[in-house]
Structure formats: C-alpha cells, structure tokens
Amino acid sequence: MSLSKNFRKKYGPWVLVTGASSGIGEQFARLVAAEGLNVILVARRADLLQTIVEELRNQHGVEAESIPLDLSTPDFLDLLLSACEGKDIGLVISNAGFGLKGLHHEIPLEKLSEMLDVNCRAALMITHSFIPRLIERGRGGIILTGSMEGFFGVPWSAAYSATKAFVLSLGEALWSELRRHNIDVLVLAPGSTDTETHIAQGIAREDLFGLKPPQEVAKLGLEQLGRSPVYVSGFLNRQLIRVFSKLPRKWAVASMGAGIRKVILRNRIRSRNSESFT
C-alpha cells in the first residue's frame, strides 16, 4: 500500500496506536510502519505487542515500541504519557475498544463500566492530552475508531452503541475545532470486520455476512484521514446508514436491534446444546 506522499511528512515521525495487539489496530500499526513511520503500540497483551513490534522493526527498519497497558485503569494516562515522552507523535489512533451484547440490565455493571472506560474515557483523555502537542507542531492527525452502531441506539447493544455515539460526536466536533490548526480528525466506522471482537461478544462468525478483512478497513481509514470527519467503510453500510437515517427513528432502532437479537439468541441456543452433549 502506498499512502499519499505527504502522509509521512504530516503524520510522522511517530504514530500512537491503541488496541494494537489484534484486529484493526494491529493493521493500522502494520500499514503505517510499512510507510516508514515509527510506532508506539498500546494494549494489554504484552506478548502479542512484543511480537508485532519485533516484526515491524525487522520488516520495515522502523522504530517500534510497545506499552502494555490496561486503558480501563484510573492511572493509565500517566503511564502512557511518560512512555511517550520525547517522541514526536504526529498521528494518534484511538482504536482500542470492545462491545457487550445482551439486554442492558442483564450485563454485569462492572463490565459495562470497563467498556465505558476503554471506549469513551480513554478516547477522551488521550485526545485531550495529545491535542496541545499536535497544535504546537502545527500538523498531525487523530483517528477514532467508532462503529456503525454509533449512529443509532441499538437494542441488545445499548451501552456499546452509546459509547460509539460518544466517539462519533467527539470526533466530529474535534474535526471542526482542529481544522484551523492543520490537524485532521477522522471517525472511522468499520462495518462488520473479521476480528476477535465478535466471538468475545457471543456472535458466531458464520452468523455474520460481508465481513471485511481488518487490513482493508484500516487502509480505508488511513486513506480517508483528511478527507471527511466521518467514514463508514463499505458501500452497502453507507447506504444502510443513509436509508435508516431517513426512516422514522422507531423503525430504524427496531431494525438495528432485530438482527443482533437473532444472532445472539441463536448463539446462546448453540452453546446450550453443545454443553448438554459434553
């Protein structure tokens, strides 16, 4: 992949990627390193991060560092900032996140609270801390990974969709605030992407259609940075958001929820059946 000639000049020399141990974040890291940018990778799984860091150093001759961190912890920001000290970070990719599916009142409160911390609080604190540095250098970018679920309240995914609505609003507003400072902001809303996140949410891979490879989604995000405040990956996904936005809100919300409810219930029945055979 080759990004625009100016990419390295505007967003280099260092790129910070959260949620870089797998999925879309890992691919963001691989793609920018292939363009010759240095990377700082954040996630909890230190072993995975270390493997990626070593591969990127060997394959692309870039500097790469890992910061094993849990973004849901109260003191993560101090640790992150001290690990980033002395690095001229031009692009901040706040991508770490996870979802929880099910009826809102049936999901344990501590899991919901952790999701709020990772998906919203971490994005808020990271952008707040890095924006002054980007303004000072007079150029740079921020990518926030949102979701199509951020456009509507989604039954059976109520809190997750709410966290992604937060990311959408935050990113759109920052896009406008930071334009005059030559800082590009993009909210990337990946459609269904082939990552670990679905299994973790109790959704079987075979129940999803049109899954895109995470590399394709990350590449689109990098290419769209600087072009618009929000990018929904996938033509059909963009049409879906357009059509649903024109529907009466109650129909849009009900339609979004119906599909999710079906795949979760199907998966629960499958697991119950497989347990009863063992």
Ligand X SMILES: NC(=O)c1ccc[n+]([C@@H]2O[C@H](COP(=O)([O-])OP(=O)(O)OC[C@H]3O[C@@H](n4cnc5c(N)ncnc54)[C@H](OP(=O)(O)O)[C@@H]3O)[C@@H](O)[C@H]2O)c1
Residues 98 and 18 sit within 8 Å (Cβ to Cβ): no
Out of 197, 201, 224, 267, the only residue in the binding site for ligand X (CB under 6 A) is 197
Out of 38, 127, 147, 201, the only residue in the binding site for ligand X (CB under 6 A) is 147
Out of 96, 131, 162, 230, the only residue in the binding site for ligand X (CB under 6 A) is 96
Q: Smaller CB distance to ligand X: residue 10 or 41?
A: 41
Using the rule CB under 6 A, give the single segment among 16-24, 168-176, 223-231, 268-276 that binds ligand X: 16-24
Using the rule CB under 6 A, give the single segment among 3-11, 13-21, 78-86, 262-270 that binds ligand X: 13-21
Give the nearest distance from C-beta 277 to ligand X in angstroms.
Answer: 29
190 binds ligand X (CB under 6 A): yes
Active site residue 111: no
Choose the catalytic residue: 160, 212, 219, 231: 160
- What is the identity of the amino acid at 62? V
95 binds ligand X (CB under 6 A): yes
Distance, CA of 241 to CA of 219 (rounded, Å): 21
Backbone angles phi, psi at 227, to 5 degrees: -100, -35
Q: Smaller CB distance to ligand X: residue 127 or 193?
A: 193
Out of 13, 57, 63, 70, the only residue in the binding site for ligand X (CB under 6 A) is 70
Number of residues counted as binding ligand X (CB under 6 A)? 29
Out of 38, 72, 157, 161, the only residue in the binding site for ligand X (CB under 6 A) is 72
215 binds ligand X (CB under 6 A): no
157 binds ligand X (CB under 6 A): no
Q: Smaller CB distance to ligand X: residue 10 or 189?
A: 189
Backbone angles phi, psi at 65, to 5 degrees: -135, 150
Element (DSSP H or E) covering residue 113: helix 109-116
Residue pointed to by tokens 């497989």: 274
- Half-sphere CA count of 105, side-chain side, radius 13 A: 0
Out of 196, 242, 247, 251, the only residue in the binding site for ligand X (CB under 6 A) is 196
Active site residue 160: yes
Element (DSSP H or E) covering residue 272: helix 249-277
Q: How far is CA 85 from the centre of its chain?
A: 24
Using the rule CB under 6 A, give the single segment among 1-9, 51-59, 69-77, 173-181 that binds ligand X: 69-77
Out of 13, 22, 204, 223, the only residue in the binding site for ligand X (CB under 6 A) is 22
145 binds ligand X (CB under 6 A): yes
Distance, CA of 140 to CA of 146 (rounded, Å): 20
User: What DSSP assignment string belongs to 12-46?
Assistant: -SEEEEES-SSHHHHHHHHHHHHTT-EEEEEES-H
Residues 10 and 141 sit within 8 Å (Cβ to Cβ): yes
Choose the catalytic residue: 10, 101, 164, 219: 164
Burial (CB < 10 A; 0-12, 13-18, 19+), residue 128, is exposed
Among candidates 180, 171, 173, which has minimal Cα distance to 224? 171
Among candidates 254, 129, 133, 236, which has minimal Cα distance to 192? 236
Which residues contact ligand X (rule: CB under 6 A)? 19-25, 43-45, 69-72, 95-99, 118, 145, 147, 190, 192-193, 195-197, 214
Active site residues: 160, 164
